[in-house]
Each structure stands twice: as structure tokens, then as C-alpha cells.
Amino acid sequence: MELRAQALICLAQTDFLQKTKFVNDLISAWQSGNCNLDTKVLFRPPNNIPGKPTKPDLVSPKDVKRRNMRTLEGRAVMIHALAHIEFNAINLALDVIWRFANMPEQYYSDWLKVAAEEAYHFTLLNDHLIKMGYIYGDFPAHNSLWEMAARTADDILARIALVPRTMEARGLDASPPLRSKVAQVGDMEAAGILDIILRDEIGHVSIGNHWFNWLCKTRNLDPINTYAELAQQYEAPTPRKPFNHQARLAAGFTEQELVWLENA
């Protein structure tokens, strides 16, 4: 089996249990040397991606339910929204593996690790939802993460700049206030899940930073100016303050980049 072809097959899987199992089997095969890598092959984008279950219904972000954390349903809506982000994140990591050719082997191996961790996050959240009497698919969700992926499908530099370094990095900022909200209402299990996710997401953003800077270096581009241009060109969402400086620095953003962000 070949890693990038398998990533594409996995991306097309619609069932979330099958998709998470596929990712886990794929990383085991890769780590045990039972999966090779063809960095050169170009795949034609099929029209069945990303594979997703018939539920949740996808709606505009303004139609996503509000969350009152004091009610069980409100908390379930919030956990569901996070599970949906993680489900998308599995697809996003798989997508950069099959889509972009001619990168070093480490690039593919890094994103496979990300896909496996996203599958783990999804499973933690969905299992928590099940304990609360719900399951992934029970509430409507929005599609803005994948929309950014679609907009940047033809340009690896834009994709890495705007998905891991923008959308995923926003997760680092969103995590501490969310964690304190769930802890406040006594859901310590959810707080523990958020801790695991934050720890791993620092790694994902750091992988994004690494490959963005690598691409800039190979193309002789200045990372800050290039990011600013791409953010404008692709209408990246405005970053929301306050930023999680500590997590962003740990994820490889420079002080200079954080200063730029504060003034953006």
C-alpha cells in the first residue's frame, strides 16, 4: 500500500467509525514499515471528498445553536461543535497528504501523525457526547473549516498558511476560556479532554509553522509579508483576541509574528 493513495481513500470514507479506524490502521502500517510513499504521483481530485456522514446537517455559522453551558444540552452542543472541528481536522490532515506532491518524506509523516491525533480527539469528544446521551451528528454544524481548504486547494503555501497557521492556531487562543467554562460547571472530564487537545494542537500548529517556513525559505519569501498577503488574498478570518501567547510561542510563532498579529 502507498501512503498518499491510502490518505485519499480514507478522506473519502463517510462513516466516522470507519474513518478513525482507517487512520489508526494507516499510521500503524506506516510506522511498522508496511506502507511505502510515492511523493511524485499526482492524483486527480475525486468528487466524493471529503467523505462525511449524512448527519450533522451543515448550516451557516449564524444558524449554529447557542450554548448555555449550565444545561446538559448546551454543553452537548458545545462538545458536538468541537467534535465537528476534529472530524474536519482529520479530513484536512489527510487532504494535504494526497493533494500536494514533491514534498520531503517528513512532511507526509508529520501530517499522518496529525490525522491520527485528530482521530483521537474526535473519539474522545464523541465518547464524551455518548455518555451525555448524544452522538456526533445530533446537532447542526457549519462548514467554514472545509471551505477554507477548498479555497486553498491549488496552493500548498496558502493552505498551510491559512489552515494550520490560522484556523488551527485560533484553537490555541479559544482553548483556555472554554476550559475554564466547562470546569466552572463541573465537567472535569471535558476539561481533561481540552487539556489533551491543547497539548496536541500546539504540535499541529508547530508542524504548520515548520512547513510554512520551509516553503518560504525554498521559495525565497519573507514569512511575515507572505502571510499578510495570503491572509488578504484568501480573506482569512480576522484573528480574535486575546491570543494565547504562551501556546503560540510554543507552537513556533516568533515574537515578531505575534507583534504583527496584535496589530493586524
Spatial contact of 99 and 45, defined as CB atoms under 8 Å apart: yes
Q: Using CB under 5 A, which residues numbered 85 to 104 contact Fe ion?
A: 86, 89
Shortest distance (Å) from residue 207 CB to Fe ion: 9
In this structure, what C-alpha cell is assigned to residue 198? 491543547
Shortest distance (Å) from residue 261 CB to Fe ion: 19
Shortest distance (Å) from residue 8 CB to Fe ion: 20
| Residues in a beta bridge with 58 | 141
Among 95, 110, 118, 173, indicate the residue that binds Fe ion (CB under 5 A).
118
- CA-based torsion, 117, 121, 122, 126: positive or negative: positive
Residue among 10, 220, 226, 225 at smallest CA distance from 111:
10
Between 26 and 89, name the residue whose CB sits nearer to Fe ion.
89
Stretch that binds Fe ion, among 18-26, 61-69, 111-119, 241-249 (CB under 5 A): 111-119
Residue with cell 487539556: 195
Altogether, the residues listed in the chain come to a count of 264
Shortest distance (Å) from residue 92 CB to Fe ion: 8
Tally of CB atoms within 10 A around 189: 14
Stretch that binds Fe ion, among 48-56, 64-72, 110-118, 155-163 (CB under 5 A): 110-118
The C-alpha atoms of residue 81 and residue 89 are separated, in whole angstroms, by 12
Residue with cell 464524551: 128
Residue among 43, 27, 46 at smallest CA distance from 35:
27
Among 84, 113, 121, 165, indicate the residue that binds Fe ion (CB under 5 A).
121
Query: Nearest 5°: phi and psi at 36?
Result: -100, 180
Between 41 and 110, name the residue whose CB sits nearer to Fe ion.
110
Among 19, 142, 159, 204, indicate the residue that binds Fe ion (CB under 5 A).
204
173 near Fe ion, rule: CB under 5 A: no
Stretch that binds Fe ion, among 21-29, 42-50, 78-86, 186-194 (CB under 5 A): 78-86
Interface residues toward Fe ion, by CB under 5 A = 86, 89, 118, 121, 168, 201, 204
